Chain A
Amino acid sequence: QKEVEQNSGPLSVPEGAIASLNCTYSDRVSQSFFWYRQYSGKSPELIMSIYSNGDKEDGRFTAQLNKASQYVSLLIRDSQPSDSATYLCAVNRGGAGSYQLTFGKGTKLSVIP
C-alpha cells in the first residue's frame, strides 16, 4: 500500500528561523514529489515540485529529494508568521501532474512572532 508519512506537528519555530519539514514515502517507483500549503479552511496551494535527486530552490523555499532513502523535505528560510499553515507532502508514480497523488496527513507549522 502506498503511503506518505509526515510528522503531524505542530512544528513551532521563531520568526526568522529555518523551518524543516520532512516526508517519507513507501512506493519506490514514485517519480514526482510536491509540497502544498494549506491554510485553515482553504484549498491546498502548490508551492514546490521536485522530480530528481538533490535540491531545488525557489525564493525562501528549498525542496530536497533523496530517492534512495525515499525521503523528501521542505526548508523554509527566514520563516514568517504568514508561513503558519499545514504543509502537505504529495507523491505520484509518474508524470508531472499525474492525478493519483498520494498525500500525507500534513505537518502543521506555527511561526512565532
Chain B
Amino acid sequence: NAGVMQNPRHLVRRRGQEARLRCSPMKGHSHVYWYRQLPEEGLKFMVYLQKENIIDESGMPKERFSAEFPKEGPSILRIQQVVRGDSAAYFCASSPGMDSPLHFGNGTRLTVT
C-alpha cells in the first residue's frame, strides 16, 4: 500500500523559472493538502484540495502560486517566476476525509539559485 508519493524529491531552479511539484495521494484518499516548511520554521498550511476543487487556499501566496487536483492524475503545486525566498521543503498530505489524520509524503526540496 503505497504512501503519499511526491516528486521530484529535489528540485533546483534559477530565479524566474517555474517549479512544478507533484503529489499522488494514498490509494483511497481524495483530500490533498500542501504545506511548506521553511528552514528553521514550522510547517505552514498552504492549500486544501479535493478532486477538481480548491476548498481552501488561504495559506497560499496570492501571486505566482497555484494548485490543482485534476480528475485524473496527481495534484500539482505550481510556482511561477521563483525567487530565492521560495526555497523550502514542500510537503503534500492526504486523507480519506476531513475527519481523518493526515499522512504526509516525503516532500520536495526546492532550491532556487
Contact = CB atoms under 8 A, between A and B. Distances in A.
B22 interface: no
Interface residues of B, number: 27
A1 interface: no
A43 B107 contact: yes
B20 interface: no
Given A105-B41, A105-B42, A97 B100 contact: yes
A59 interface: no
A103 B105 contact: no
B76 to A, nearest CB: 18
Contact of B97 (A4, A97, A103): A97
A17 interface: no
Contacts of B48: 99-100
A99 B42 contact: no
Interface stretch (A44-52, A66-74, A75-83): A44-52
Contacts of A44: 43, 91, 104
List the 9 closest A-B pairs by CB distance, nearest first: A103-B42, A43-B104, A103-B43, A97-B100, A99-B48, A105-B42, A96-B99, A43-B106, A44-B104
Interface of B: 4, 31, 33, 35, 40-45, 48, 55-56, 59, 91, 95, 97-107
27 contacts: A34-B101, A36-B104, A42-B106, A43-B104, A43-B106, A44-B104, A46-B101, A88-B42, A90-B43, A95-B99, A96-B100, A96-B101, A97-B98, A97-B101, A98-B98, A98-B99, A99-B31, A99-B48, A99-B55, A99-B56, A100-B45, A101-B43, A102-B45, A103-B42, A103-B43, A105-B40, A105-B42
